Amino acid sequence: MSTPVSAIYHLVLRHQVSRNRLIVMAITFSLFVLAGVLVATNSEADSTTMIDIIATIGLSIAVPIVSLVFASAAIGEWIDDETLVYIWLRPISRVQIAIAATAACLTVAFPTTVITMTVAAAIGSGFEADVMIGAAVSTALTTLAYTALFVALGALTRWALIAGFVYIFVWETTIARFGDGLARLSIRSYGASALHHITDVTVDLGNRSVWASYVIPLAVVAAGVGLTTLILETKDVP
Amino acid sequence: MTAIPPPFPAQPPVAMANGPQTMPAPPPPTATVSASGVSKHFKGLVAVSDVSFAIQPGVTALLGPNGAGKSTLLRMLSGQSPTSQGSVWVAGGDPRKSLETRRQIGIVPQQDGVFERDTIFEFVKLAAVLNRLPDPEQAALGALHAVEMDPNLDRPMGTFSKGMRQRAKIASAIVHDPSVLFLDEPLNGLDPKQRRHMIELFHNLGQSGRTVLVSSHVLDEVERFGSRVLVIANGRLAAQGDFRAIRALMDDQPLRYRVVCSDSKHFAAHLIARGLTVGTTILDQYSFELTTLDALKLRRSLAAIAKEVTIRLFEVSPLDADLESVFRYLVGGRHQ
């Protein structure tokens, strides 16, 4: 029998798949596979080049953008089309709605980012195991954290997509590089650090400790779900 | 099914045109929905101001012109929107805080938005699942049957007409057999046959012990919902009680009627001669407008006079019985 959480999960999932989002998925996959092929066919490039591409373009731009596109729409679309009331007014706790929405977004964001980066890493590195594992793990960690955060952003504001892009391009790719203290507040630095620890290749912002690389993204997931719950509890539902 | 509570006690109408209520009455013991000193402000704009009332099982109409604050009030009652001041009490709890209270509520929001990619059966079944009904499919079929919709309609709801969406929203609201229903302009977009059916459905729900609060800005609709009304204007509760009594309050005011008959001049002259009208305007050979100070007497005598003077009476329509006129009277007209 369907439970409320699984019903909401499937509802979000059904509405996640749209033509525009499929295009985002296809473009992301194609670009990174192309990057992998170019690295593999370039005699001056090696697996370090591929790791650099994943750390700089993958973790700081592609992963957060894909996460943003899916996650900001999960609850954000219900607010835009004023259907949140059909979920909100039911006798289910807000945390269940937050968990179901986040899980549904991860279901579509994960294959897009993790499979894409892993395939690109495999092609670009000539199927080196640590590069493939590093790409998969670092991408998974950052996708988790960004998705949970952007679900909350979608619940918070109708301008989530714009706010998310500003966050990605101003904070994650620019300000976070200005100092170690600021870098600690950058999600991608933890993914980059996981990539560094697994591949033993120095990458941009990859200087967090091993435990922080794994624990902080998971803590961000908990914080994102908690924030979404809080927003739903206090929201003026349209 | 819960036991049917005692019938709604007869209450005299209370007009509140002279300002906000200052002393909200405590809710009667049978009240299932009550508001106490409820206000809502939006960035300095007062949408609802100091509204207090208590309603019992049965159908109550929430009457008011567009922009009066009906939807805002319903949104606060359902818990969608927090109150700026005051408190609401629905089915024994605060709908914003209590899951059990939300279980008791069904709502038809005014907005058209539905899950556009879902079929109607998926939409209504989702409501059943979220309410943890033991057999969501069966509950969805029952609710769709109640609004006369085909559960096998295999089209996404995004392709539905406004009327179909409206019926889907009603099915979604009643699927879990709630004890309290908030319906915000639920007849919008429905054709006359569907309207009749829905009004009958709301009556049945009210008679079987549910508390049904239906908002509308159409006077004719409200009369068909039943006699109990809450009248809201400019964010304030303008009157509450028996609708017919509220309208009767207007009978001491000059009221205008349009009369269509076989000989307008002749008939108007007879009415003036009998002191039934204080002013007439002949529109054409067959129709005229009149103003009367005794609407009740006029309505009772018109047909008899027409028969007596052998004039065929085709139509008598009140020109001041529209909702705006009621509000002019309740909110400010009596002071003018």
End-to-end CA distance of chain A: give it in Å, rounded.
30
CA distance, residue B207 to nearest chain A CA (Å): 25
pLDDT > 90 fraction of chain A, expressed in percent and rounded:
75
Give the whole-angstrom CA distance, residue B35 versus residue A175. Answer: 50
Q: Which helix (H) or strand (E) holds B191?
A: none
Give the whole-angstrom CA distance, residue B90 versus residue B95. Answer: 7
Q: Which residue out of A83, A93, A97 would a mutagenesis test of the B interface target, given it has the greatest number of B Cβ atoms within 10 Å?
A: A83
B79 contacts B71 by C-beta, under 8 angstroms: no
Query: What is the pLDDT, as a whole number, of residue B328?
Result: 63
* Cβ-based interface (< 8 Å): residues of A facing B: 1-4, 7-8, 11, 14-15, 81-83, 85-93, 234, 236-238
ipTM of this complex? 0.86
Residue A227 has pLDDT above 90, yes or no: yes
B128 contacts B121 by C-beta, under 8 angstroms: no
Count CB atoms within 10 A of the CB of residue A34. Answer: 12
Q: Per-residue confidence at B217, pLDDT binned at 50, 70, 90?
A: confident
Q: Per-residue confidence at A17, pLDDT binned at 50, 70, 90?
A: confident
Q: Per-residue confidence at A176, pLDDT binned at 50, 70, 90?
A: confident
Q: Per-residue confidence at B28, pLDDT binned at 50, 70, 90?
A: low
Give the Å distances, CA to CA, from B111 to B69, B80, B225, B257, B270. Answer: 15, 13, 21, 36, 51
Which SS3 state, helix, strand or coil, does residue B253 take? coil
Q: Which residue out of B130, B137, B175, B184 would a mutagenesis test of the A interface target, given it has the greatest number of A Cβ atoms within 10 Å?
A: B130
pLDDT > 90 fraction of chain B, expressed in percent and rounded:
53
Residue B178 has pLDDT above 60, yes or no: yes
- Chain B CB contacts of A8 under 8 Å are 130
Q: What is the mean pLDDT of residues A18-24?
A: 85
pTM for this entry = 0.80
Q: What is the mean pLDDT of residues B6-21?
A: 40
Q: Minimal Cα distance from A88: which residue of B?
A: B80
Give the whole-angstrom CA distance, residue B156 versus residue A80. Answer: 19
Q: Is the dihedral of CA B40, B42, B43, B46 positive or negative?
A: negative
Residue A51 has pLDDT above 90, yes or no: yes
Query: What is the pLDDT, as a whole number, of residue B30?
Result: 67
Q: What is the mean pLDDT of residues B211-220?
A: 82
Q: Per-residue confidence at B298, pLDDT binned at 50, 70, 90?
A: confident
End-to-end CA distance of chain B: give it in Å, rounded.
50
- Chain A CB contacts of B78 under 8 Å are 89
Higher pLDDT pick, B193 / A95 = A95
Whose tokens are 């170019």? That residue is A38
Query: What is the pLDDT, as a whole number, of residue A180?
Result: 78
Nearest by CB to B105, from A1, A7, A89: name it.
A89
Query: What is the pLDDT, as a whole number, of residue B24?
Result: 41
Give the whole-angstrom CA distance, residue B83 versus residue B97. Answer: 13
A91 and B103 in contact by Cβ < 8 A? yes
Query: What is the pLDDT, as a whole number, of residue A198?
Result: 96
Nearest by CB to B129, from A4, A88, A237: name it.
A4
Higher pLDDT pick, A109 / B335 = A109
Average pLDDT of chain B, as a whole number: 83
* A&B contacts, CB < 8 Å: 67
Higher pLDDT pick, B29 / B301 = B301
Would an 8 Å CB–CB cutoff place B79 in contact with chain A?
A: yes
Residue B10 has pLDDT above 80, yes or no: no
B218 contacts B65 by C-beta, under 8 angstroms: no
A15 and B113 in contact by Cβ < 8 A? no
Which SS3 state, helix, strand or coil, does residue B181 take? strand
Cα dihedral B27→B29→B33→B34 (10° resolution): 10
Nearest by CB to B111, from A7, A8, A82: name it.
A82
Q: Which residue out of A12, A90, A93, A96 would a mutagenesis test of the B interface target, given it has the greatest number of B Cβ atoms within 10 Å?
A: A90
Q: Which of the given ranges, A80-94, B17-31, B321-335, has the highest pLDDT on average? A: A80-94
Q: Minimal Cα distance from B106: which residue of A?
A: A89
CA distance, residue A10 to nearest chain B CA (Å): 10
DSSP assignments along A73-134, one per residue = HHHHHHHHTT-THHHHTSSS-HHHHHHHHHHHHHHHHHIIIIIHHHHHHHHHHTS-HHHHHH
Would an 8 Å CB–CB cutoff place B117 in contact with chain A?
A: yes
Average pLDDT of chain A, as a whole number: 92
Q: Which of B80, B114, B93, B108 is nearest to B214 (CA)?
A: B108
Residue B241 has pLDDT above 80, yes or no: yes
Q: What is the mean pLDDT of residues A212-221?
A: 96
Give the number of C-alpha atoms closer than 13 A to the C-alpha of residue A44, restricted to the C-beta side: 0
Nearest 5°: phi and psi at B110?
-70, -35
Q: Per-residue confidence at B20, pLDDT binned at 50, 70, 90?
A: very low
Q: What is the mean pLDDT of residues B249-278?
A: 86
